[in-house]
Structure 1
Amino acid sequence: MSDAAVHRLPAQRYRVSLRWVTILLALALLATCQPPVSPMAEIQATGILRVATVNSATTYYLGPAGPTGFEYDLAQAFADQLGVELDMQVVDTRAALTRAVRQGNSHFSVGLTATAALRRDYRLTPGYLDLQPTVVYQADDPTPDDLASLDGKLTVARDDAVTNWLRQAHPTLNFRVDESANAEELLARVAEGDIRATVADARLVQLNQRYYPRLRTAFTLPVTASRTWVFPAREHDALYNRAIAFLAGMRGDAAMTILRDRHFGHAKRLGFVGGQTFARIAEERLDRWRPAFETAAEENGLDWRLLAAVGYQESHWDPEAVSPTGVRGLMMLTEQTAEELGVADRTDPAQSIEGGARYIRDLRERLADGIEEPDRTWTALAAYNLGLGHVLDARELLRQRDRDPDSWINLRDALPWLTQKRYHSQTRYGYARGHEAVTYVGNVRAYYDILLWMTGSPDTEKPESLQREPETSDTAAERALDMNVPAL
């Protein structure tokens, strides 16, 4: 083979390789000329909706049955409508919420307040939950009459709607913005006396007053604020338009009313005095009966804290309690119910707790299959208080009026009807004090929420101000629902 032949073969291979490189470059160039995949197309392809949120009593937290929270349930309903799975991504701060959207880690963020700054940089949905910014102080301090009396004493979380209004409406007011804290942390610090006052939404205050009974509300600020979903500022509109349509449909829908009631309907139930009493009695008595509650709950598929909440509502955990009608024991079983359950001694705490647990389980199992949780539990508790027959009567009254009897919010409306002759005359079991059953369930829900928080359930994060050694002084009870009281 000549030298020319030797060098010609590599040249031919080079020309062939160059042709393929040219083709591949052209294909790559064509690919980059295509518009990027839209969020809606990505969601449909992957089957996953990514939503960013923060841990909060009003947004998202892990409860005994798994993820819950108003914002979580609302986002889950939207994911269900889209027919995809919800991936809830929890971040630490408000800035991280917007960053998750801006960087494309989440399709949108929830739990933010609509502001001019957000509207400038992102696309927002119309508001779906109106807020009431309220000034909050501690019971030991004088009640502030106005903002002027809080000059230099007010600390707020980073919320542009509130901070911008304060700066514009009260330009001379001296207040501090804590960039690293959220509203719940500041409420805890007010309760602990670390700061004098803060501003938080009225619903959040009501929820936290159960844990911090010394929190007080002074007045509401005239600030227009509402929750919004935050989307990136891009040209793709399909997902954004679906979200707007979904929220518009939810705003006046019964589903939104049920959702608000589920998360906020019992927030006002206890108030300060009831919360303090609960804390004091929990410190004195709960550790004594907790093992019995845990054992009975495990055997009957219940959360022991729910069972303990019922026991507190019934007797304040007093095994010697007796009602005027002869109902007695820690779980206040009637003689007939105790006999049916095989409880030989109603005043024996272990027997009473075990009998009460079996009775709640039995009531839950006897309810109609269509009643879902948590409505199933609330309905069973109403039957525990009022009797299953009366609850069935109320459900029948709802059916006659074309209202869903499986919804607790509807049943809560119907139970008081049983006191009215025009209604109870139409029922099988007649008159009943339905108002008491409604109050009963509301109280149990409130006590249950407090016990979840007090016993270190993973559903809430404890502020650093509460992470200290247990108190042994006489002031422990006064500190109300401090996580570290010795009994807990």
Structure 2
Amino acid sequence: MYKSFARDPRWWRIPLIILVLTLVPDLSWKSGDPLLKKIRTRDFLQVITRNTPTTYYQGRQGPTGFEFELVRRFADHLGVSLAIDTTESIDDVLTIVRQGDADLGAAALPMGPIPSGIHYSRPILELQPLVVYRRDLPPVRDPEDLIGRKVGVIRHSGASQALRELQRQLPELGWRESTGVEVADLLHMIENGELDAAVIYAHQFKLNRLFYPGVEDGFTLGESLSLVWAVPASEGLGLLREVNRFLDKLRRENILHDLVDRYFGHDDYLEYVGARLFIRHVQKRLPQYESAFKEAARRTGIDWKLLAALGYQESHWKPRATSPTGVRGLMMLTQPTAKQMGIKNRLDPLQSIDGGSRYLVSVKERLQPEIREPDRTWMALAAYNVGLGHLYDAQKIAEIRGGDPYSWADVRDSLPLLQKREWYSKGNYGYARGGEPVIYVRNIRRYYEILNYVSRSQQQFYQLNQRSPNAQEESQLFDIVPPVL
């Protein structure tokens, strides 16, 4: 087993540089640091990034992404507006920053030997290289399992450096690398047989694994790196100090931890068969009901994809579904709920979608006003499943345990306790199978994520059914790094 590999001897300079910059007094504002002064004069921060799920993309409510969220907060910290430009590769990002055409590069940049003309910020996020491979291959558990395989990697991503370090001990290892691909491209190529494996980062796989159920994680490769930001070295140290002060503040206040958890904290995922089945039903069943979900969204203000995810969790989009307890239809309404919503035929999919959507709204409206989004939506979904009374009891238990009754994370941890007498006896509504709404909400959120992914434009991400490059295109896309025998 290869647990660690030799590091570039220049890397010891990085923590020393950071320490020196920490100890030097911050006189940037008083001395009129040129770049900070320029940013304040023009009243906006110019950021260069890449269009990827972990950095920046256009979501359903506008720009989003982990690093976008951070740079937006940094612009607010400086008291200026934010201007975002995108480019294709890490090399391009560093070149643009070095030339002074951007104030800040925030694009999943790995800390490594510091390029000329660039300063790196403090570490923001740990980057652990991870080998992933096609699920129908023999398990890839050790570096030797990569020999003879078609392995892809993004050049200069840091993950490629891990392969170069491994090749020193495994000279027969070769791979393909390119600046013209992103993580989603590599995973798509693995799932469709164009590649056997790839080296990406663990958090990237966690974020994307829902959309590529045919890709499996193999083993971590080498030591972890750090995600950093880049600023131009030619403009003084003022902006670098301000970036580091900002990041330190986020870390002290646990804001950085919360953002990392929000974007990369999901440690559970749909098992392979379930994810594959869902994708097939998205292609075959959902088109019959998509317009009905969109109409319900117009009436209720709830994203149609969330309503569709709820419907799939309830019935797999089967309009005549019936449970042993008597709930029926695509949205699985009880008879009293259907009557309350004015639904005459629960087996009519249009009526069921309309009634279920309006019922979800009515549940949300009955929650305490202190509950903010997105927690309000997750609690409403839990109540759709287990009932408002049991949700209220779980909130009470959360408070007894010292948690926040208005936080989904704390209520989620308390719901399973409704199965234990010592806890459900403290509430008003008795026993409940409290573990079920936790799984229920988790699944809906995953289905919702997949639907959001599928609906993004082809210019941003590969679609799940998009054609892979042919052999000629692939040969032009990747540079081959051969074995060194």
Work out whether the TM-score is over 0.5. Answer: yes
Q: How does 1:5-84 map to 2 (within 5 A)?
A: 38-84=34-80
Partner of residue 372, structure 1: 372
Moved more, 158-167 or 401-410: 401-410
CA 366–254 in structure 1, closer or farther in 2 if over 3 Å, else same: farther
Deviation (angstroms), 1:87: 2.6
Aligned to 1:98: 94
Q: Quick one: which of 160, 164, 167 aligns to 2:164?
A: 167
- Quick check: 1:109 aligned with 2:105? yes
The residue type paired with residue 167 of structure 2 is H
**What's the counterpart of residue 480 of structure 1?**
none
1:317 paired residue number: 317
Q: Is the 8 A contact 1:296 1:353 kept in 2?
A: yes
**Quick one: distance in 2 between partners of 1:165 and 1:292?**
49
Distance 2:205 2:434 in 1: 29
Output the amino acid matched with 1:66: G
- 1:268-279 alignment, distance < 5 Å: 268-279=268-279
Query: What value does the CA root-mean-square deviation take over the aligned residues?
Result: 2.8
- Do the aligned residues in 2 keep the contact of 1:300 with 1:361 (CA within 8 Å)? yes
Where 1:112 maps in the other structure, the secondary structure is strand
Shift of 1:209: 2.5
Conserved 8 A contact 1:151-1:175:
no
Aligned match of 1:157 in 154, 159, 163?
Answer: 154
Question: Residue type matched to 2:57 in 1?
Answer: Y
Letter matched to residue 463 of structure 1: Y
Q: Do the aligned partners of residues 239 and 154 (structure 1) sit closer, same or farther apart at CA in structure 2, a change above 3 Å counting? A: same
Which has the higher mean CA deviation after the structures are superposed, 224-233 or 108-117?
Answer: 108-117
Relative to structure 1, is the Cα distance of residues 365 and 84 closer, same or farther in structure 2, using a 3 angstrom cutoff?
farther
Give the structure 2 partner of residue 477 of structure 1: none
Instruction: Provide the residue aligned with 2:294 in structure 1.
Output: 294
Aligned to 2:383: 383
SS of the aligned residue for 2:114 comes to: helix
In 2, Cα distance between equivalents of 1:451 and 1:246: 35
Query: Is 2:205 the partner of 1:205?
Result: yes
Q: Which residue of 2 aligns with 1:485?
A: none
- 8 Å Cα contact 2:154/2:179 also seen in 1: yes
In the TM superposition, 1:329-478 aligns within 5 A as 329-400=329-400, 403-454=403-454, 456-458=455-457, 461-463=460-462, 467-468=466-467
Which whole-Å CA distance do the structure 1 matches of 2:377 and 2:457 have between them? 21
Name the SS of the counterpart of 1:118 in structure 2: coil
| C-alpha deviation, 1:336, in angstroms | 1.9
For normalisation by structure 1, the TM-score amounts to: 0.81
Instruction: Measure how far apart 1:137 and its partner are.
Output: 1.5
Q: CA deviation at 1:330?
A: 0.8
Structure 1 residues 297 and 367: alpha-carbon distance in aligned structure 2, compared to 1, 3 A threshold: same
| Partner Cα distance (1:287, 1:199) in 2 | 35
**How far apart, CA to CA, are the structure 2 residues paired with 1:221 and 1:462?**
26
**What SS does the aligned partner of 2:132 have?**
strand
Give 1:251's aligned amino acid: R
- CA deviation profile, 1:328-364 (whole Å, cap 9, x unmatched): 2111112222221111222221111001111122223
* Aligned partner of residue 152 in structure 2, secondary structure: strand
CA 160–306 in structure 1, closer or farther in 2 if over 3 Å, else same: closer
Matches within 5 A, 1:170-319: 170-171=167-168, 172=171, 173-234=173-234, 236-251=236-251, 253-266=253-266, 268-319=268-319
Count matched residues. Answer: 435
Deviations 1:381-416 (A, max 9, x none): 122222223333333444455544443333333333
What is the deviation of 1:235? 5.6
Letter of the 2:151 counterpart: L
CA contact (8 A) 1:112 1:230 kept: no
Helix, strand or coil: the match of 1:56?
coil
Distance 1:338 1:389 in 2: 19
Query: Residues 307 and 357 of structure 2 are in contact (CA less than 8 Å); yes or no, is this contact kept in structure 1?
Result: yes
**Percentage identity across paired residues of the two chains:** 41
Whether contact under 8 Å (2:132, 2:199) holds in the other structure is yes
Q: How big is the shift at 1:309?
A: 0.5
Aligned to 1:133: 129
Which secondary structure does the structure 2 equivalent of 1:364 belong to?
A: helix
CA distance in 2, matches of 1:104, 1:216: 41
* Relative contact order, higher structure (CA 8 A, sep 6+): 2
CA distance in 2, matches of 1:267, 1:450: 16
* Greater CA drift, 199-208 or 422-431: 422-431
Q: Is the 8 A contact 2:33 2:236 kept in 1?
A: no
Say if 1:205 and 1:160 are closer, same or farther in 2 by CA, change over 3 A: closer
Q: Counterpart in 2 of 1:23?
A: none
Distance 1:109 1:127 in 2: 14
How many angstroms does 1:36 deviate by?
Answer: 7.2
Measured after TM superposition, the shift of residue 267 of structure 1 is: 6.0
Q: Residue 207 of structure 1 contacts residue 268 of structure 1 at CA under 8 Å; is this kept in 2?
A: no
Structure 1 contact 134–200 (Cα < 8 Å) conserved: yes
- Specify whether residues 258 and 36 from structure 1 end up closer, same or farther in structure 2 by C-alpha distance, changes over 3 A only: closer
283-292 vs 406-415, greater mean Cα deviation: 406-415
| CA distance in structure 1 between the partners assigned to 2:389 and 2:98 by the alignment | 56
Structure 1 residue runs of 5 or longer lacking an equivalent are 1-34, 470-488
For residues 329 and 236 of structure 1, the distance between their equivalents in structure 2, rounded to whole angstroms, comes to 65
Q: Distance in 2 between matches of 1:378 and 1:460?
A: 31
In 2: Cα distance, 1:125 partner to 1:421 partner: 52
Cα deviation 1:398-454 (Å, max 9, x = unaligned): 445554444333333333333344433333334333322221111111111111222
Q: Secondary structure of the equivalent of 2:312?
A: helix
TM-score by length of 2: 0.81
CA distance in 1, matches of 2:223, 2:184: 19
- Could you say what secondary structure the match of 1:116 adopts? coil
Q: What is the match of residue 18 of structure 1? A: none
Q: Which deviates more from structure 2 when the two are superposed, residues 416-425 or residues 357-366?
A: 416-425
Give the direction of change, closer, same or farther, for the CA distance of 1:328–1:174 in structure 2 (3 Å limit). same
Match of 2:23 in 1: none
Distance 1:414 1:44 in 2: 48
